[in-house]
Structure 1
Amino acid sequence: MLRIVLHLLGLPLLARCTQTVKSKFRNGTIAGIWKNAGPSSDLALNSPPAWAQKYSMSECLNLLYSKRNLALGGGSFLIAIMLAVSAVPSVAQGLDPQTHIPQLQTTTTGLPDLPQPALKLPTLNNYASPSSPENNPLVQTRELDLKARLSEGGGDIPAGLVWRVFSPDVGPDGQLPLIASAQGGGAVFNLPEGSYLVHVAYGRAGATKRITVGNATRHEVMMLDAGGMKLSAILPDGGKINNDLLRFSIYADEDNSDRSLIVPDVKPNTIIRLNSGTYHVVSNYGSANAIIRADIRVEAGKLTEATVQHRAAEVTLKLVRERGGEALADTSWSVLNASGDVVRESAGAYSSMVLIEGDYVAVAKNKDRIYQRDFKVSSGKNEEVEVVANGESESVSDSVD
């Protein structure tokens, strides 16, 4: 250990002194001392015994002490050796006694507060009730198998149905709580035993029935008593009508004039599903005065196709300086019927509309001047009407603004 320390301190002289002592021992310089000690196991190892090692250390130190030319004095040098030897355990404290690997010093600190990721929870069914069967798996349920037909003897409706199951008891909000719903053809619900109100809708047709679920599967076929209505329109002599300008509205056929609107803005050739009964249909061709009304009956299980006839035509008005000229901008238009009633008002270089057949007056106002012209509309004959801005067509009255 001393030799290792001397090498670590960079003192080759002291190490050489130790080698010299050992060499004297082998050459017999201190052989007499060894012989007096008697035979020992150390002899076989050709190394001095413990007492000889002490002697050699003493000789080494005396030799070093006599060297006054060293930079350190004897006492200071011994202190340096002692400090060096005492430092060895301190260095060794940083070593693992088993592996001699330096031990790492780690510092554990708390993790910084990280932002929590947003939880993507499944959205709740708008119709789900806390008391619904799917939210209470402990409740024993029974199957309610539902189908719907348009009429007695008809087939099951395969698609387009909307089923809703309500509790018969009114909730705190004054509404019947919705227990379950489904879309498509037939539907199967798992419900606890009890009474329910079942509503099925097929387009504008619908039916409601109270159904009691017992201790066995319940099969129920609901009759909608409904049919369909398909609407279209034509011009006289079978002329083709502009379907882009054609719309229908369906009202309930009530005795009073205040009919409730059931289906607005129906495009032509669209099948509307309705309960059987009579309905009031209004057909608008354009947005002026081409209006036809009719009462149409719908029968259960049947499609009613109704075609109305419009005696009207499309008309385009324009104000020009001469016949065949360009339309003048910044023009305001008014169209009056034969009775003097205003049928349509608009603004622009062109004014397009659909008018029923008859006599009309076109009034154009441009730059504080008023011009007018009489014209006639024939059913099915679309035309362009020019109003010439000259003295012949200019109105002497400013009564029309």
Structure 2
Amino acid sequence: MFEGRLRLFLVRLCAALFLLPVSMAVAQEKDGVGDLKLPGISSYATPKSETPLALGGGGAITLSAQLTDKGTDITRGLVWRVFKPEAVNGKLPMVASSHGGSAVFQLEPGSYLVHASYGRAGATKRITVGKEAKRESLVLDAGGLKLDAVLSGGVRIPPKKLRFSIYEGTAEANGDRALIIPDVEPNSVVRLNAGIYHVVSTYGAVNAVIRSDIRVEAGKLTEATVEHHAAEITMKLVRETGGEAIADTSWSLLNESGDPIKETVGAFASMVLAEGDYTIIAKNRDRIYQKDFTVVGGQNQEIEVLATEAAAMDPEEGAD
């Protein structure tokens, strides 16, 4: 694993940017959110009654959510789900849902479980509904995470070649970590509950990987930038220095320990590699050629492998 340097910047989230009004609840079968993943509650059942409880004659309850206990109400991006607490066939019956900001529900008197999700952050609360109108508030204890990566000297990495994966901060007994979000694009804001997360930054598709543990604070936007020590390498098989690339060439890349890490076929072999020492093996028409080279972080280069008799290897010693 290759080390990188991490820079963290904390910025206060601006809830005032969210200007959507309070939304009224709608029935589950009409809201289109039944397929969304529900953090904290494993499963739920659709209501059997054709008249949703959210439109019944009970008391009105207004639900709002905040990032912190002293924060302002979140005005957009929330998904509300209301459940009866008694499981049916192992699932909680969902009686109403809404999305937007704060929500008003008309529910029959009784006990309910309310879940609010905000991106990948969420919270659940048990409420009691009577005949009188009332308000309930949920504190999500959540913040935002914005990720980016650069090369040595602050050189920008093309966004299309950069991805992040966010894992649980605590590893399981076997060392694995639960994946929360894969393939996060750089500079996108991910909403998460406050806590420590394990972030994997991947540049290219071979071995340029940086791992970092990052803390997300409630009510704040954490901006994390990691530094990759890698470069883009293009290899070609030529009959003379500066010559044309030979087509139909099979490539096998070995790391410093001699382990194969990448195979490809074509006139050119282009990839992103972490800095270090490598051996490239090229096979064309039953002839095998190889070359050792070194990758320096931030220094893209073109590697030419000469297809000469002097450079050819015995096929019995090469890699198929």
Q: TM-score range by the shorter chain?
A: 0.7 to 0.9
The structure with more strand, counted as a fraction of residues: 2
| Cα offsets for 1:163-218 (capped at 9, x unmatched) | 000110101x3100010011101111110000000000000000000000012112
Alignment coverage as a number of residue pairs: 277
The structure with more helix, counted as a fraction of residues: 1
1:168 aligns with 2:108: no
What pairs with 1:12-161 in structure 2 (closer than 5 Å)? 124-125=29-30, 129-131=47-49, 134=52, 139-161=56-78
Residue matched to 1:218? 134
Residue matched to 1:189? 105
Residue matched to 1:388? 306
CA contact (8 A) 1:253 1:259 kept: yes
Give, in whole Å, the separation in 1 of the partners of 2:92 and 2:197: 29
Seq. identity, %: 56
Give, in whole Å, the separation in 2 of the partners of 1:170 and 1:270: 37
Give, in whole Å, the separation in 2 of the partners of 1:258 and 1:315: 31
Give, in whole Å, the separation in 2 of the partners of 1:159 and 1:398: 65
Residue matched to 1:270? 188
User: What RMSD in Å do the two structures reach over aligned CA positions?
Assistant: 1.8
Give, in whole Å, the separation in 2 of the partners of 1:133 and 1:223: 31
Give, in whole Å, the separation in 1 of the partners of 2:272 and 2:253: 11
Give, in whole Å, the separation in 2 of the partners of 1:135 and 1:186: 19
CA contact (8 A) 2:111 2:128 kept: yes
1:248 aligns with 2:248: no
1:200 aligns with 2:116: yes
1:343 aligns with 2:257: no
Give, in whole Å, the separation in 1 of the partners of 2:184 and 2:285: 41
The one-letter code matched in structure 1 to 2:159 is N
Residue matched to 1:286? 204
Give, in whole Å, the separation in 2 of the partners of 1:135 and 1:269: 41
| Cα offsets for 1:342-387 (capped at 9, x unmatched) | 1211111111111111111110001111011111111101111111
> With structure 1 as the length reference, what TM-score do the two structures score?
0.66
Give, in whole Å, the separation in 2 of the partners of 1:280 and 1:298: 11
Bigger CA radius of gyration: 1
The Cα shift of 1:140 comes to 2.2
The one-letter code matched in structure 1 to 2:58 is T
What pairs with 1:314-353 in structure 2 (closer than 5 Å)? 314-353=232-271
CA contact (8 A) 1:312 1:355 kept: yes
Tell me: higher relative CO, structure 1 or 2? Use CA pairs within 8 A at least 6 residues apart. 2
> With structure 2 as the length reference, what TM-score do the two structures score?
0.83
Residue matched to 2:93? 177
Q: Which runs of 5+ in 1 are unaligned?
A: 1-122
Give, in whole Å, the separation in 1 of the partners of 2:310 and 2:153: 37
After superposing on structure 2, the runs of 4+ consecutive aligned residues of structure 1 that deviate more than 3 Å are: 123-128, 130-137
Q: 3-state SS of the aligned residue for 1:159?
A: coil
Give, in whole Å, the separation in 1 of the partners of 2:249 and 2:181: 37
Residue matched to 2:292? 374
Give, in whole Å, the separation in 1 of the partners of 2:65 and 2:113: 15
